[in-house]
Amino acid sequence: MPLIRISLRAGTPPAYRTALVEGVYAALRETFAVPEGDRFALIHEHETANFHYGPDYLGIHRGDELVIIQITANATRTTAQKRALYAAIARNLGREPGVKPADVLVNLVEVAPESWSFGDGLMQYGPPDS
């Protein structure tokens, strides 16, 4: 049920962008127990003039290869699971496609389970009708 949004500067090859999605999805499967096939990801490429960031915020030096990952997921995970997710994403993207850990920014947006409709106009994870 997570929705993955990945933002980065324009100009990377398709294989690079695919590796980003695969790395995030693998981390979600490992740490959040996301089931096979529950993969919904969007990639947003931005021209330089439309991609701004603090290069040294919190003492972390990031560069133009910055990848901003926003994940919307049910608010059901522990702090330990979230820490494990962030570490797994950085590790996976470091291996493939080779993103430096400092250039991996993750934002987790938590929502109630009933905040989703995966199709057919239904609330798949919500409480039953009374």
| DSSP line for 83-96 | HHHHHHHHHHHHHT
Q: Is pLDDT at 76 greater than 80 in this prediction?
A: yes
What confidence tier does 125 reach under pLDDT thresholds 50, 70, 90?
Answer: confident
Count of residues in the chain = 130
pTM of the model: 0.94
For 7-62, what is each residue's pLDDT tens digit?
Answer: 999 999 999 999 999 999 999 999 999 999 999 999 999 999 999 999 999 999 99
Please tell me which residue in 2, 35, 97, 101 is annotated as part of the active site. 2
- The pLDDT assigned to 70 comes to 98
Q: What are phi and psi of 31, to 5 degrees?
A: -105, -25
Q: Mark whether 2 is an active-site residue.
A: yes
Q: How far apart are CA 7 and CA 83, in angstroms?
A: 21
pLDDT of the residue at 1: 78
Q: How many CB atoms lie within 10 A of CB 83?
A: 11
On the question of pLDDT at 130 being above 80, the answer is no
Question: Cα dihedral sign for 31, 32, 36, 41?
Answer: negative
**pLDDT band of 129, cuts 50, 70, 90:** confident
Rounded to whole angstroms, the Cα distance separating 122 from 46 reads 34
Per the prediction, the chain carries an average pLDDT of 96
Q: What is the pLDDT of residue 61?
A: 98
- Residue 20: predicted pLDDT: 98
Percent of residues, the chain, with pLDDT higher than 70: 99
